[in-house]
Amino acid sequence: EMTYNSLVNACLYQGLLDMASVLFEEMKKENHLPNIVTYTNLINAYGKAGDLRNAMYIFKEMKDKGRVPNVWTYNALLKAHARRGFLEEAYGLYEEMECAGCLPDLCTYNIILDMYGRAGCFDELEKIYQEILINRITPNQVTYNTLLDAYSKNGHSGKALDILEKMIKAGCRPDVWTYNILLTSTGKEGNIIEAGQLYNDMKEAGHLPNIVTYTAMISIYGRNGLIQEAETLWMEMQSAGCLPNLFTYCGMIDCYAHHGMCKE
RNA sequence: UCCCAUCUCAU
């Protein structure tokens, strides 16, 4: 039974959802009851795949079999709905968890904040943020990054700066994600110099750029015809031991394609 | 109050 749980979870960890579900079914046929971690991981995997139907099915099944969903389970299901844009359903789950005696944690709130941010529902977002404070939960880096991303993506750069200030005042150090969010939105607004400045600030603050940073910067330069700069970063990235991924290649190819350099 | 799973960024 422990072996089955481990096998299913190992498959999920490797992204082998199909294999995991085969083992999961086999496990049940042999009358082993999957544990809550296994159920939660499966819900997560289906959620990531955008497969709400199966995520919900697993959730129902676990309840039928007497496994009691915990915060992690609800968070997984919540995120699955949030990412598909099912705001009402997600909020329903949030209320359901309260009824089930399952207290929302900061992850729960972060997921909901992210959901409203993506949807551009700022009134709801503010309401949730207040709820966090009322419940005397201390926002963490993820919370601030989520808020920053929500506001800066929607053109509210002034509000985003307020958040950043709040974050720092609260003693929460901006991390790589924070910088990535800031430089991406700054670049999209056409402030290329400022984006480059943020990139330098980040390094000076002792943060190593990651693949997301490089991809964002390369794309910013590429969109603005600064091919040299994009190429320089491309090489800098490799010498830093950071390998380009599909996102990075797309950024670089776009850069060349939009400036009549198809050969490259 | 053993161990394992959940939240935010780039094309």
Got the DSSP string for chain A? -HHHHHHHHHHHHTT-HHHHHHHHHHHHHTTPPP-HHHHHHHHHHHHHTT-HHHHHHHHHHHHHTTPPP-HHHHHHHHHHHHHHT-HHHHHHHHHHHHHTT----HHHHHHHHHHHHHHT-HHHHHHHHHHHHHTTPPP-HHHHHHHHHHHHHTT-HHHHHHHHHHHHHTT----HHHHHHHHHHHHHTT-HHHHHHHHHHHHHTTPPP-HHHHHHHHHHHHHTT-HHHHHHHHHHHHHTT----HHHHHHHHHHHHTTT-TT-
Is the CB of A157 less than 7 A from some atom of nucleic acid strand B? Answer: no
For A97-108, what is each residue's pLDDT tens digit? 988 889 999 999
Closest nucleotide (CA of A70 to C1')? Answer: B6
pLDDT at A259: 74
pTM of the model: 0.92
For A26-48, what is each residue's pLDDT tens digit? 999 999 999 999 999 999 999 99
Confidence check on the interface: ipTM exceeds 0.95, yes or no: no
Residue A262 has pLDDT above 70, yes or no: no
> Residue A209 CA to B6 C1' — how many Å?
26
Window A202-231, strand B contacts by Cβ < 7 Å: 210-213, 215-216, 219
Is the CB of A70 less than 7 A from some atom of nucleic acid strand B? Answer: yes
Task: Name the residue closest to the C1' of B7 by its CA.
Answer: A107
